[in-house]
Amino acid sequence: MTSRTTFVARTPDVADFATSSFIPTPLPSGSTNELNVVNARWKELFSQASEIVASNAGLLLVAASQLFFSLMNLAVKKLNTIDPPVPALELIVVRMGITLICCIIYMFIAEIPDPFLGPKGVRMLLFTRGFCGFFGLFGVYYSLQYLSLSDATVLTFLSPLTTAIAGALLLNESFTRKEAFSGVFSLFGVILIARPTFIFGSVTNVSGNSGSLDVETGSPAERLGAVGIALVGVLGSTGAFTSLRAIGKRAHPLHSLVSFSTQCVIVASLSMLVQRMPVVVPARLDFLLLLAMIGLFGFIAQTLLTLGLQRETAGRASLTVYLQIIFATILERMFFHYMPSILSVLGSLVILTSAIYVAVSHE
């Protein structure tokens, strides 16, 4: 047999790491205090920023929706450069048809109840939102057939003021003097950017072209009718904004989009059938992509807008819609290399100042 002896580890009984380089050198007390002060300041700034974002979440959502609306309008403008041009009613069918499909698919996946009619108790308000929303959308598309883009823009941006008044009269929402002043001030900024010919006459832009970017067409009677339809569209947008505020959080945001898109698709399709309007079928890949972008960006924009209006009063939220013209100016410069005039820059600053003023003002 072999004998076994106990193994003894050759390690010291007491470990001495006093001279180890792993021990970090402590910071001087002055440096530690400065670091704590910096961290405290950053935490305070982050806390203040979080409070501002939380208190203005509705305004931020509406502002984001205006960016996607501008991207959608950019796709429409690009689409107009492709031959043959797409009729306005067909654009409505395509845009709202894609929106309707996206809404239904998401609602079935998320198992949202009553995807088509919406919850009981707000179905009439949902119908009103869709009904008014169609006229608001149709008013813009129809007026652009006979009015310049500048004139149509000025008429469209009358809706925030009318919405604020409607919210105060019908929903008992507050409408302060600050909001009224911001609305008028923002409208002045829109006028500076749009420069309608009935105010400024025929002006020369920086590129040397006379008049506005879009030439008016049609007879004086057709132009007068287009102005009337545009004003009807303003009333439609007012009804849509006010209905969304009345619905509040009693329905999912996509319920209002389903009602809106369904009525737009039905009415626009019937109008095309009655007028025997031919359907323009895309034969090019870029044509098809632009149509898809119109529908997708429109869906995202409408969803963000609905979420924002659920969290904010009609007057404050609708004032943020003015930011769309700033986004449009930037995108126009990026994709069409259009240099804005001094009046456009001043108008953008006026609108941005008004939006910030509304966001930080509380009464």
DSSP string for 191-214: HHHH--HHHH-S-B-TTS-BS-SS
Q: Does residue 179 contact residue 315 with C-beta atoms inside 8 Å?
A: yes
- Of the two residues 23 and 161, the one the predictor is more confident about is 161
Q: How confident is the model at residue 15 (pLDDT cuts 50, 70, 90)?
A: very low
Around Cβ 213, how many Cβ atoms within 10 Å? 13
Of the spans 2-16, 96-110, 344-358, which averages the highest pLDDT? 96-110
pLDDT at 29 over 60: no
- Of the two residues 362 and 36, the one the predictor is more confident about is 36
Mean pLDDT of the region 148-168: 74
The per-residue b/e assignment along 128-163, b for 16 or more CB within 10 angstroms, e otherwise, is: bbbbbbbbbbbbbbbbbebbbbbbbbbbbbbbbbbb
- Of the two residues 88 and 118, the one the predictor is more confident about is 118
| pLDDT at site 212 | 41
| pLDDT at site 26 | 57
Least confident of 6-10, 19-23, 170-174, 205-209: 205-209
Mean pLDDT of the region 93-108: 89
Span 252-275, pLDDT tens digits:
888 988 999 999 999 899 989 998
Which amino acid would we find at residue 177?
R
pLDDT > 90 fraction of the chain, expressed in percent and rounded:
7
| pLDDT at site 124 | 92
Mean pLDDT of the region 325-351: 76
Mean pLDDT of the region 191-209: 60
Tokens (6 digits) for 94: 């395509």
Q: How many CA atoms lie within 13 A of 298 on its CB side?
A: 27
pLDDT at 317 over 90: no
Q: Does residue 292 contact residue 300 with C-beta atoms inside 8 Å?
A: no
Least confident of 106-110, 239-243, 274-278, 338-342: 338-342
Contacts of 5 (CB under 8 A, 6+ apart): none
Q: Does residue 308 contact residue 59 with C-beta atoms inside 8 Å?
A: yes
pLDDT at 295 over 70: yes
Residue 204 β-bridge partners: 210
- pTM > 0.85: yes or no: no
- Of the two residues 244 and 208, the one the predictor is more confident about is 244
Can the peptide bond before residue 160 be classed as cis, meaning omega within 30 degrees of 0? no
| Whole-number Å distance between alpha carbons of 105 and 112 | 10
